[in-house]
Amino acid sequence: MRGKRAKVRKLNKDLKYKNTLFAKFINNIMLHGKKGLAEKTFYNVVEQGAEELKTDPVEFATKVVDNVRPALEIKSRRVGGSNYQVPVPVTPQRQETLAVRWLIDIARKKTGASFEDLLRREMIATYKGEGDAIKKKQDVEKMAEANKAFAHFRW
């Protein structure tokens, strides 16, 4: 391992719901330091999505993230001049980070509607167990499963 491991910084809770997951979403949505705009966008998305599914906003967002959390991922390891894709288990903190990042990236890459609308649609689809974020999770886990033969290179 090169250098020191990065320290885990404590994430502040969001202002409205006092939830660290919401703060993580807001920070990932934010562009160019415009946190107020990111907060407004995310609260609209979560409240409209929860209203559409007749559930609590916190419960809605939590279930969406839980549906996207990957259990395994692959990391490259160089062994004897060859690179191997080695499957490794994902820590709970990284699972949450990946889930939030995937949801936002997928909504950003789509076109045809506002980001707010696209993110809401993606979160609703993920809540129901469908959508591109679920597909991404399955692809990552399938790759890890396919490379199970190299698991002994993990150290």
Domains within the chain, CATH numbers bracketed: 20-70+92-137 (1.10.455.10)
pLDDT (tens digit per residue) in 130-151: 999 999 999 999 998 888 777 7
pLDDT (tens digit per residue) in 76-98: 888 888 888 888 899 999 999 99
pLDDT (tens digit per residue) in 108-131: 999 999 999 999 999 999 999 999
Pairing of strands 82-89, 72-79: antiparallel
Give the CA diameter of the chain.
55
User: How many other β-carbons are positioned within 10 Å of the β-carbon of residue 126?
Assistant: 25
**What's the distance, Cα to Cα, between the start and end of the chain in Å?**
11
Q: Which residue in the block uniquely carries the two structure tokens 């993990």?
A: 154
Cβ contacts of 109 within 8 Å, gap of 6 or more = none
Confidence (pTM): 0.89
